[in-house]
Amino acid sequence: MIKANPNYFKLPVVYLFQQVAKTVKEYKDTHPNADVISLGIGDVTQPIPMASIEAMHKATDEMAKAETLRGYGPEQGYEFLRKAIIENDYKAKGIDIALDEIFISDGSKCDVGNIQEIFDVTAKVAIPDPVYPVYRDTNIMAGRELTFLPCKESDNFSPSLPQTDCDLIYLCSPNNPTGSVMTKEDLKKWVKYAKEKNAIIIFDSAYKEYIRTPGIPQSIYEIEGAKEVAIELRSFSKTAGFTGVRCAYMVIPHALKALDPNGKDIELNPLWARRHTTKFNGVAYIVQRGAEAIYTEAGKKQVKATIDYYMENARLIRTGLKECGFEAFGGIDAPYIWMKAPNGVTSVKLFEALLTQAEIISTPGSGFGTYGEGYVRLTSFGTRENTIRAIERIGKIKL
């Protein structure tokens, strides 16, 4: 009989968010009148920018006529969108990225999951702990060995350098789940490490628009030499509320190299292009027009207003928790707040207390890794009203 991929059996049995969903469902089923507020999974509540809505209507109409119909687009994404990204997200910030270094996709989750495919299965992977589980699970599925990089409160949750040599390193700033950010000095340290070890960094900056503190890098390419060692991932999900619209992009600079089977160093960009064109057929034209519209003057204003709204939620959660006597991190340059459980209280216990005593959904930190134990993640993506009501309830929980 055909064998299943044996690596899948090394995965943790239940995907964290599914487990949380199950517990919540059970609570709701047994408490039909409960007024549960979700500060759990990082989904948005505010509408997508009107500029995107208008662009998507227009694009939909184009699909209704033979003269303007768009069939298969370029797998890498339409030039109009790649140009808008380069102009606004890079050139405007003094970073020079070429058109063929950008790859449009239907989400960062896919990019995170797929990028590991172009590397050898023997590549040693370093992953922060706590971490967005997709970095971990997709490498386990591929059969790779993992090293975890503790992110401790004493280091502002910035990952420590690995004790053993690593080939592929995942970094995320602003961070999911801790809400922390990596400073220029933090990133310099990593770029230097990657150069010394001939390693590659996968830099996930899906939350870059939430950075408020001057000097915190939005892009790893703000660090000199980073193009030789880093792939950057960005998403429209949290920038423009595209969680249900699905659009993201990845930057693979030509300067990025790896060894071919003959030990010769080759560019990774064409290797990824090959993967992308073979297993993917481009993002919907309508969606790409919606994403392009984010970069218009109107679109930029609308995006800023929505992010300001969420960041005010973040401030309310952060200050509210402190007023209730809880320690909390993040929420200054990130939409996530990392709430610390009082001594001896586990993540799951705090999650359960929040659910059953305050009817608030959080995400247990332990699901994100060993060093997430003792924390829960709260998100600022709720409505203002619910965020305020949630904070009022938190003061009442007993642990």
Of residues 141, 324, 345, 397, which one binds a copy of itself by CB under 8 A?
A: 141
* Length of the chain in terms of residues written: 399
One-letter amino acid for residue 183 of the chain: T
- CB-wise, 123 or 250, nearer to a copy of itself? 123
Which range of residues in 6-14, 151-159, 339-347, 387-395 is near a copy of itself by CB under 8 A?
6-14
Residues 369-388 that bind a copy of itself (CB under 8 A): 383
Contact (Cβ atoms closer than 8 angstroms) between residue 398 and residue 157: no
CB of 109 to a copy of itself, least distance (A): 4
- HSE on the CB side for 162, CA within 13 Å? 23
CB of 295 to a copy of itself, least distance (A): 18
CA distance 123 to 145: 8
CB of 137 to a copy of itself, least distance (A): 5
Q: Parallel, antiparallel, or unpaired for β 375-379 and 363-364?
A: antiparallel
Residues 67-126 that bind a copy of itself (CB under 8 A): 69-73, 106-107, 109-110, 113-114, 117-123
Residues 144-183 that bind a copy of itself (CB under 8 A): 167-168
Of residues 279, 301, 304, 322, which one binds a copy of itself by CB under 8 A?
A: 279
Of residues 84, 128, 138, 361, which one binds a copy of itself by CB under 8 A?
A: 138
- CB-wise, 267 or 373, nearer to a copy of itself? 267
Q: Parallel, antiparallel, or unpaired for β 375-379 and 328-330?
A: unpaired
Which range of residues in 60-68, 329-337, 340-348, 366-374 is near a copy of itself by CB under 8 A?
60-68
CA distance 176 to 381: 13
Number of residues that bind a copy of itself (CB under 8 A): 84
Contact (Cβ atoms closer than 8 angstroms) between residue 104 and residue 283: yes
- CB-wise, 103 or 326, nearer to a copy of itself? 103
- CB-wise, 45 or 88, nearer to a copy of itself? 45
Residues 295-334 that bind a copy of itself (CB under 8 A): none
Contact (Cβ atoms closer than 8 angstroms) between residue 372 and residue 180: no
CB of 76 to a copy of itself, least distance (A): 12
CA distance 21 to 25: 6
Of residues 146, 255, 271, 397, which one binds a copy of itself by CB under 8 A?
A: 271
CA distance 284 to 169: 31
Does residue 60 interact with a copy of itself by CB under 8 A? yes
Residues 212-241 that bind a copy of itself (CB under 8 A): 241
**Maximum alpha-carbon separation in the chain:** 66
Residues 239-258 that bind a copy of itself (CB under 8 A): 241, 243-246, 257-258
Does residue 281 interact with a copy of itself by CB under 8 A? yes
Return the residue matching tokens 């080759």. 266
CB of 290 to a copy of itself, least distance (A): 8
- Name the nearest CA neighbour of 152 among 129, 173, 174: 129
Of residues 3, 215, 325, 398, which one binds a copy of itself by CB under 8 A?
A: 3
Can the peptide bond before residue 177 be classed as cis, meaning omega within 30 degrees of 0? yes
Does residue 274 interact with a copy of itself by CB under 8 A? yes
- Name the nearest CA neighbour of 130 among 368, 377, 378: 368
CA distance 292 to 51: 9
Rounded to the nearest 10 degrees, what angle do helices 297-323 and 50-62 cross at? 140
